[in-house]
Amino acid sequence: MPGTYVPTDYLPVLVFLIIALGFGLGALLFGFLLRPRRPYAEKLSPYESGMLPEGEPRQKFTVRYYIIAILFVVFDVEAVFMYPWAVAFNKIGLYAFVEMMLFILILAVGYIYAWRKDAFVWD
Amino acid sequence: MLSKVFFLYFASVIVLTSSLAITRRNAMHGVLYMLLMFFHLAGLYLFLNAEFLAAVQIIIYAGAIMVLFLFVVMLLNLREDVQKSRFIRPWIIGFIISSGVMVIAIKAARSVEVVGTGRWGIKEIQSATHIGAIGQELYTHYLYPFELASLVLLVAIVGAIVLAKKRLK
């Protein structure tokens, strides 16, 4: 029946999440309960290596980050295709190997193009 | 019973975080609420026995797409005080359009029939695991669309570099 499936294999993930969340929240809670609270104006002001902070904290990022992000998305999608391929590899064998090599080859063309166009250079 | 408890948790958090994501004035906060929403969507997929979709949701959406969103927000340097007037003024137009979309979505969801038979019924998928089933289908029957996907990705690489490099030089 659909809608009644419980992924029991993922119970360790749930336990891990609960421990991680409890550890983080517990550390914050104990710190909050134990630490002394004596705020004054200088303590609450933002600290920037001893200098007086000037200008906007948010600045425009260069467009280079955008290229890096796009390339990351593309190669991430490529990596995701390898995931079911690796799981089903025993069932399909050499045929799957050849087609994945073709897939990687086509994307390698894009990788070489990006390399030649200095997309990875940060001057 | 247990899966219903988890479904209610995931569904309510998804509704809450997605409405928070579209109502925040600060774009960065909206993006972070969307990240939380992606993780809960992955959990929902797990309870639908769709492990691969859950993995894709975390690896691609919460990983790569989210980085892209954050970079775009930083690139545009959006500030909370910048406010624009709404695109369509009278609220009734937005209300009619969104409720129309909702009616279509509900009708579509109602028309879906879960058959659970055939070559890949629920039992077969559970025995071969969801990812194994996708792998066996994708790399045999759907070989051609799979190879076409690499060409689409190639176009994305070339397009991004051509568009961005023009600005740099």
Q: Cβ(B32)–Cβ(B44) under 8 Å? A: no
In a domain, A2, yes or no: no
pLDDT in tens, B46-96: 888 888 999 999 999 999 999 988 888 888 776 655 566 656 667 888 889
H-helix or E-strand spanning residue B135: helix B130-138
CATH number, domain of B53, equals: 1.20.120.1200
> CB distance B74–A107 less than 8 Å?
no
Q: What is the band of A50 on the pLDDT scale with cuts at 50, 70, 90? A: confident
Query: Which residues of B are less than 8 Å from A16 in CB distance?
Result: none
Give the whole-angstrom CA distance, residue B19 versus residue B31. 12
Provide the token pair at A94: 């050499």
pLDDT number for residue A80: 92
Q: What percent of chain B has pLDDT over 90?
A: 37
Give me the total of CB pairs closer than 8 Å, taking one residue from chain A and one from chain B. 161
In a domain, B30, yes or no: yes
What is the residue range of B50's domain? 1-79
CATH number, domain of A49, equals: 1.20.58.1610
Q: Which of B157, B162, B165 to mutate to test binding with chain A, by most A CBs within 10 Å of its CB?
A: B157
| Whether the predicted interface score ipTM is above 0.85 | no
In a domain, B138, yes or no: no
Q: What is the band of A1 on the pLDDT scale with cuts at 50, 70, 90? A: very low
Give the whole-angstrom CA distance, residue A113 versus residue A110. 5
Number of domains composing chain A: 1
pLDDT in tens, B123-161: 777 788 888 888 888 888 888 999 999 999 999 899 888
In a domain, B119, yes or no: no
In a domain, A121, yes or no: no
Residues A31-45 have a mean pLDDT of 87
* Angle, vertex CA A73, rays to CA A67 and CA A78, nearest 5: 130
pLDDT number for residue A22: 96
Closest CA to A84 of B116, B123, B59: B59
